[in-house]
Structure 1
Amino acid sequence: MGDGAAELRRELRDLVHAHVPADYLGAFTDDPADLEVAQQFCRLLADKGLLCLSWPAEFGGGGASAWEQTVVREEMWAHHEPRGAQYMGVNWVGPTIMRHGTEGQQRQHLPPIGRGEVIWCQGFSEPEAGSDLASLRTTARRDGDGWLVSGQKIWTSYATMAQWCFLLARTSRGEKKQQGLTIFLVPMSDPAITVRPIDCMMGPHHLNEVFFDDLRVTDADVLGTIGDGWSIVQDVLAFERVGIARYARCERLLQAAPKALGEGWELLPAELRARWSRMLLHCRRARLLAYRLVSLQSSGRVAPGDAASYRIAVTKLDQDSAEVLMEILAEIPSEHAGTAVAQWFRGEVQDHWKYSQASTVSSGSIEMQRILLSRALLAAS
């Protein structure tokens, strides 16, 4: 990536060290102070021009390369994403509005995202339409000069804290189920929207049900063309699935294991150390796949199969590395367990294992990714 990327990486690590507590495990815990850490850190990054580093200058960004933005993604994810839920607005909501939004929508939504002031949630999945998203039942029906939206979304991350929702609804029926879908940009403060949290081991804010009871929207809230929302969804998924550098956290924890165990590292079973080495190799593989996608995305040539191959590799890495790390954790010598580095490692690994359990389901299940990849391979043969 060059000297500039290395300097940027050092700057980001210095900022994290100075402004994020050492025991920080993400914004979405039971402690409201963790969310405030993320909000403050976002504003700090925005003030330094680092929050939307690769956005075009015309939209308030730094005009940096995709590779510099990749450095930001890696360092943020490696350190428990201290941007909190802002990564959603920065990585794909903002770029999608740049590409498909009207001038008015760009003026309204991009500056608050760029300042780190607004949180978005994604209204896609439904009880009967998760992996098969195009089968959704939430409908928007014409009512005078606007629309009335009714239906239910589920597994909606950050819905309890978000100010805006990127909502997919059906506005008409076509020959194919992907036809007649439309994106709406809607405020979560509307009384026609009800949010019900879903308890889970990942903590508050992560999973929610969202109900729309005749939510009134207008044509000004439509992103892109009415009925052509599926093409925007494809853009969103490409941005979303490339945007999370899961391999960065895996590699950071694997590299920390020898120090965390101290003298106990030399006593690890040979088979476990071999698996540890294999996980590091898989980290590098996932990183190279991510870099390939960044290159393809820069030229506008990302295909579903490209994103799917990366998603399969990185989500499997997430889970497999978590299992290896948990086994290594159990081998910390009792006389070393009370040290600061061992305690830090324990908290990090347990948190990583907890989140990894959902990695092969969220943002498109691994089964669907395998189907997409298989179709791409068959089409190319």
Structure 2
Amino acid sequence: MDFSMGPAAAELRAELRRLVAEHVPRGYLGAFTDDPEDLETAQKFCRLLAERGLLCPAWPREYGGWGASPWEQTVVREEMWAHQEPRGAQYMGVNWVGPTIMRHGTPEQSRRHLPPIARGEVIWCQGFSEPDAGSDLASLRTTARPDGDGWLISGQKVWTSYATMARWCFLLARTARRERRQEGLTIFLVPMDAPGIEVRPIGSLMGPHHLNEVFFNDVRVTAADVLGDVDGGWAVVQEVLSFERVGIARYARCERLLQNAPRVLGDGWESLPGELRVRWARMLTHCRRARLLAYRVIALQDEGRVRPGDAAAYRIAVTRLDQESAEVLVEIAALAAEDGEEAGLFRREVEDHLRYSHASTVASGSVDVQRILLARALLAAS
């Protein structure tokens, strides 16, 4: 299969790599480190991409894109993830919050929310998981009860990435009690500066700003903040999760690190144990497998179809790739020269990759739940 996507995509990749080389400091490991300069780097780079129409090229022109194909947006996604995601938290707004608002929001919601995302000006967070409702999301307890012409939201969310810096929260709450837990759920677009919201950071290996608890104490929102139908949020959530999972193009970072290994080791590459080089080659093959599964989901989304089983298959493959490639890369990095800028940077990137791989089994839905979703899809098709 040809992964190049043609000359236009190749030119786009080259431009993105040039912008990364010129505007992202060497050794950058993402926006959410102990160094506040890293977050500022991401914010500036987002604005740079937006000015050049490269932050969300597949969006319609009226919302800040230029009507490119989803494959050109895929090129952007892959190059950003391959280079430590210098968009920072913006991938959430670009990859799935914005597209979901386009598909299910009112014209007023689109006009209000989409242009700031396309300009790289606003960060979103996702209010899904709760202390007793993570992978089993339908058991959530956060409630929204009618109050005049609006709603009062009360409850707690946890593992909420970017909540300390987000201006808006894409929130799922229960608005009715039904026999099926998936019914009676509604999506709200909640301003994070609304009275009654408290954010408490959670320390983790992922770095500051990443994970948080968020408490909602009778937070008032209006009817205009409801996305889609009241009590109809579950169907939207299934679509959201498919967009989110395929939007995390970790295979691109895995492949770049694996491809860099022979160059970093230089003459030492030939002295690697044969078994380790076989595992290295196998991981490159698994990168291509994860990429193919991602492309299948993207093609379906482009046709207006969303199949949770396909997104689950991709998520399982890329999660396993994260962890298995991290094991291989750690062994290779341990054999790199002790001195030298290239070797030192490679080791730091591998360590960062290893930290993320520990979290990848639960981020965006645990891998066990993805297996259940895939099994259900296969049984339904049989």
Shift of residue 259 of structure 1? 1.4
Question: Sequence identity of aligned pairs in percent?
Answer: 75
1:279 pairs with 2:283: yes
Asked if 2 retains the 8 angstrom alpha-carbon contact of 1:43 and 1:117, the reply is yes
Is contact 2:102-2:110 (8 Å) kept?
yes
Decide which of 290, 294, 299 is 2:294's aligned counterpart.
290
| Segments ≥4 residues shifted beyond 2 Å | none
Name which of 1, 15, 23 aligns with 1:11.
Answer: 15
State the Cα deviation string for residues 18-49 of structure 1 (Å, max 9, x = none): 00001100000111110000000000000000
Asked if 1 retains the 8 angstrom alpha-carbon contact of 2:92 and 2:124, the reply is yes
Query: Which amino acid in the other structure matches residue 155 of structure 2?
Result: G
- Asked if the contact 2:239/2:306 (under 8 Å) is kept, the reply is no
Q: Could you list the per-position Cα deviations for residues 259-318 of structure 1 after superposition, in whole angstroms to 9, with x for gaps in the alignment?
A: 111222111111111111110111111111111221111112231111111110011101
**SS across alignment from 1:214:** strand
> Matched residues in 2 for 1:99 and 1:296: separation?
15
Q: 1:175-198 deviations in whole A, cap 9, x for unaligned?
A: 211111111111111231000011
1:373 aligns with 2:377: no
- The aligned runs of 1:47-66 (5 Å cut-off) are 47-66=51-70
Tell me the amino acid that sits aligned with residue 375 of structure 2. Answer: S
CA distance in 2, matches of 1:301, 1:97: 16
- Amino acid paired to 1:60: G
1:20-169 counterparts in 2 under 5 A? Answer: 20-169=24-173
| Residue type at the aligned position of 1:347 | R
Quote the offset at 1:379 in angstroms: 1.0
**In structure 1, C-alpha distance between the alignment counterparts of 2:304 and 2:98, rounded to whole Å:** 17
Counterpart CA distance in 1 for 2:193 and 2:36 is: 20
Alpha-carbon distance between aligned partners in 1 of 2:102 and 2:238, rounded to the nearest angstrom: 15
CA contact (8 A) 1:259 1:341 kept: no
TM-fit CA distance, 1:244: 1.2
What are structure 2's unaligned runs of at least 5 residues? Answer: none
2:235 to 225, 231, 237: 231
- Return the alpha-carbon distance in structure 2 between the equivalents of residues 70 and 88 of structure 1: 14
Shift of 1:322: 0.5
Letter of the structure 1 residue corresponding to residue 39 of structure 2: L
Distance in 1 (alpha carbons) for counterparts of 2:380 and 2:251: 29
SS of structure 2 residue aligned to 1:357: helix
Give the C-alpha shift of residue 337 in structure 1.
2.1
**Does the 8 Å CA contact 1:322/1:352 hold for their aligned counterparts?**
yes
C-alpha distance in 2, partners of 1:136/1:169?
A: 7
Structure 1 residues without counterparts, runs of 5 or longer: none
Q: Which TM-score applies when normalising by structure 2? A: 0.98
Q: Cα offset for 1:60?
A: 2.2
* 2:304 matches 1:300: yes
RMSD (CA atoms):
0.9
- Whether 2:218 is the aligned partner of 1:214: answer yes
**Paired amino acid for 2:359:** A
Contact 2:126 2:169 in 1 (8 A): yes
- 1:355 matched residue in structure 2: 356
Q: Kindly state the Cα deviation for residue 217 of structure 1 after the two structures are TM-superposed.
A: 0.9
| 1:192-214 deviation line (CA, Å, top 9, x unaligned) | 10000111111111111000001
Distance 1:174 1:62 in 2: 43
Query: Deviation at 1:233?
Result: 0.6
Q: For the residues of structure 1 that align with 2:251 and 2:275, how far apart are their CA atoms?
A: 22
More moved, 53-62 vs 306-315: 53-62
Amino acid at match of 1:244: I
Question: How does the TM-score come out when normalised to structure 1?
Answer: 0.98
Aligned AA (1:366):
V
Secondary structure of the 1:237 match is: helix
* Contact 2:33 2:207 (C-alpha < 8 Å) held by counterparts: yes
- Code of the residue aligned with 1:120 in structure 2: it is W
Report the Cα offset of residue 366 of structure 1. Answer: 0.5
Residue 359 of structure 2 aligns to a residue whose secondary structure is coil
> What SS class does the counterpart of residue 307 from structure 1 fall into?
helix
Tell me if 1:247 matches 2:251.
yes
CA distance in 1, matches of 2:88, 2:129: 21
Contact 1:131-1:365 within 8 A present in 2 as well: yes
* Counterpart Cα distance in 2 of 1:337 and 1:117: 41
Q: Is the 8 A contact 2:196 2:217 kept in 1?
A: yes
1:124-162 C-alpha deviation (Å, 9 max, x unpaired):
000010011011000011122221110000000000110
